[in-house]
Amino acid sequence: QKEVEQDPGPLSVPEGAIVSLNCTYSNSAFQYFMWYRQYSRKGPELLMYTYSSGNKEDGRFTAQVDKSSKYISLFIRDSQPSDSATYLCAMTRISSNTGKLIFGQGTTLQVKP
């Protein structure tokens, strides 16, 4: 079993839809959670970074963490064609000297105009 599971998709939605992207994990030592967006032929770009359980909002993006269920989500409101990309979840243990991240496989999202 992988430490982090993420449905690779692809996920196709119409413009304006609410998108829900999810990851599950098995290791309760993970305390910091990140979402990255990766456009084709580009490096991953940090979208959201959270620590505690609950919600964190930034514009059209909301990150949700449920540590009791070992489940994290990224919601995109009013999705736009420019949101079409691969979304990677990542997580790490607390106070790690190495800062090594465990990544999900990534979910490919297509937003159709």
Partner 1 sequence: SQTIHQWPATLVQPVGSPLSLECTVEGTSNPNLYWYRQAAGRGLQLLFYSVGIGQISSEVPQNLSASRPQDRQFILSSKKLLLSDSGFYLCAFRKGSYSNQPQHFGDGTRLSIL
Output 17 or 37, the one with its CB closest to partner 1.
Answer: 37
Provide, rounded to whole angstroms, the least separation between the CB of residue 103 and partner 1: 5
Provide, rounded to whole angstroms, the least separation between the CB of residue 59 and partner 1: 18
CA distance to 14, 38, 61, 93, per residue, from 42 (Å) = 24, 6, 20, 26
Provide, rounded to whole angstroms, the least separation between the CB of residue 107 and partner 1: 11
Output 19 or 88, the one with its CB closest to partner 1.
Answer: 88
Residue ranges binding partner 1 (CB under 8 A) = 8, 32, 34, 36, 41-46, 49, 51, 88, 90, 92, 94-101, 103-106
Q: 23, 105 in Cβ contact below 8 A?
A: no
Neighbours of 31 (CB within 10 A): 16
Q: 107, 8 in Cβ contact below 8 A?
A: yes
Output 43 or 113, the one with its CB closest to partner 1.
Answer: 43
Output 17 or 101, the one with its CB closest to partner 1.
Answer: 101
Q: Is 13 exposed, middle or buried (0-12, 13-18, 19+ CB in 10 A)?
A: middle
